[in-house]
Amino acid sequence: MEPRIKREAPSITTDLRSDTVQVPSVIRNCSGIRIFGKRIKSLIFTTDIAIILNNDADAVIAVYPFTPHPAVIQSIANVSTIPILSGVGGGTTQGKRSANISLFSEAQGSLAVVVNAPTPIDTIKQIEETVDIPIVCTIVTEYMDIQERLDAGVDILNVSGGKDTAYIVSRIREKYPDVPIIATGGPTDETILAAINAGANAISWTPPSNGELFRRKMDKYRDKEREKFMQEHQGMTIEEVEDLEEKKD
């Protein structure tokens, strides 16, 4: 049998979309998680509408440090062209409200709902009884009771353990070889690979802020204007041109 030839997928874009936020290519090394037939490897962690509309991730994980609100979920759903995993509380927001927010998220087309680490087991059970989409539970430490959450209806674990993420993933994978795991990838290719090698099936990645992206663009504009000026003035800077004009006067 001839060896299988791996071909690169053709890439198509336009000038107007050339600045799309791209997730690290190393994330493609993970297996991915199939949710209703959609294979998810990379998740962009943001609620910034502009970034959600301009990225190449497989999905967006929309979790934020405030009580979940239907207006936020609806706004994201209105602009996103990729599947959404919507945060529905679990810390301050619990019980019936979390279940209702979950139902609203499902109605808006969310692929899954995400509950925070402190979410009571009863709240997870209420959500499980209310919606027909997966429940993702955030795991922040190895001391959390995984089995209790799985028994309550959690389908996917979202490991966010800071510098200990890979370690936590490895502990979970050792005990639960088949449980789908999303893990925060961290800031470098090395930390992303560590999470993948520890057993993560998908990686969530935090993009640069809107301010940082703007700073990069402004720097590019400044360099372009400086280069244009120097090309028009025999390679001289604006200070050198002004000095030359003063000497002529």
Q: Does residue 4 fall inside a structural domain?
A: no
pLDDT at 157 over 80: yes
The C-alpha atoms of residue 157 and residue 136 are separated, in whole angstroms, by: 6
Range of the domain at 233: 212-248
Instruction: Record the tokens describing residue 172, joined without a space.
Output: 């979970």
| 227/105 same-domain check | no
| 118/238 same-domain check | no
Q: Encode pLDDT of 71-89 as tens digits.
A: 999 999 999 999 999 999 9
| 197/123 same-domain check | yes
| 48/72 same-domain check | yes
Instruction: Record the tokens describing residue 111, joined without a space.
Output: 């692929």
| 230/154 same-domain check | no
| 197/231 same-domain check | no
- Going from the C-alpha of 3 to that of each of 6, 29, 51, the distances in angstroms are 9, 20, 40
Please give the biggest Cα pair distance in the chain.
85
pLDDT at 119 over 90: yes
Domains of the chain: total: 2
| 48/63 same-domain check | yes
The C-alpha atoms of residue 2 and residue 53 are separated, in whole angstroms, by: 42
Q: Does residue 7 fall inside a structural domain?
A: no
Q: Encode pLDDT of 11-52 as tens digits.
A: 888 888 888 999 999 999 999 999 999 999 999 999 999 999
Query: In this structure, how many other beta carbons lie within 10 angstroms of the beta carbon of residue 19?
Result: 13
- Going from the C-alpha of 24 to that of each of 79, 180, 209, the distances in angstroms are 23, 21, 16
The C-alpha atoms of residue 69 and residue 83 are separated, in whole angstroms, by: 18
Q: Which residues, 6+ apart, have CB-to-CB distance to 143 below 8 Å?
A: none
Q: Does residue 55 fall inside a structural domain?
A: yes
Q: What is the DSSP letter of 89?
A: -
The C-alpha atoms of residue 85 and residue 76 are separated, in whole angstroms, by: 10
Residue type, 6: K
Q: What is the DSSP letter of 36?
A: T
| Vertex 232 angle, CA 229 and 233, to 5° | 85
| 232/196 same-domain check | no
The mean pLDDT of 105-122, rounded to a whole number, is 97
Instruction: Record the tokens describing residue 231, joined without a space.
Output: 């090309």
CATH number at residue 187: 3.20.20.70
Q: Does residue 2 fall inside a structural domain?
A: no
Q: Does residue 164 fall inside a structural domain?
A: yes
Phi, psi of 61 (to 5 degrees): -105, 105
Per-residue confidence (pLDDT) for residue 1, from 0 to 100: 59
- Taking alpha carbons only, the member of 68, 82, 129 closest to residue 110 is 82
| 49/110 same-domain check | yes
Contact (Cβ atoms closer than 8 angstroms) between residue 47 and residue 76:
yes
Per-residue confidence (pLDDT) for residue 105, from 0 to 100: 98
pLDDT at 6 over 90: no
The reply to whether the predicted model has a pTM over 0.85 is yes
Per-residue confidence (pLDDT) for residue 17, from 0 to 100: 83
| 122/232 same-domain check | no
Per-residue confidence (pLDDT) for residue 132, from 0 to 100: 98
**Residue whose tokens read 């389908």:** 155
- Taking alpha carbons only, the member of 55, 131, 118 closest to residue 86 is 131
Q: Does residue 243 fall inside a structural domain?
A: yes
Q: Does residue 222 fall inside a structural domain?
A: yes
| 175/85 same-domain check | yes
| 81/183 same-domain check | yes
- Going from the C-alpha of 44 to that of each of 32, 54, 107, 151, the distances in angstroms are 14, 11, 22, 28
Q: Does residue 5 fall inside a structural domain?
A: no
pLDDT at 218 over 70: yes
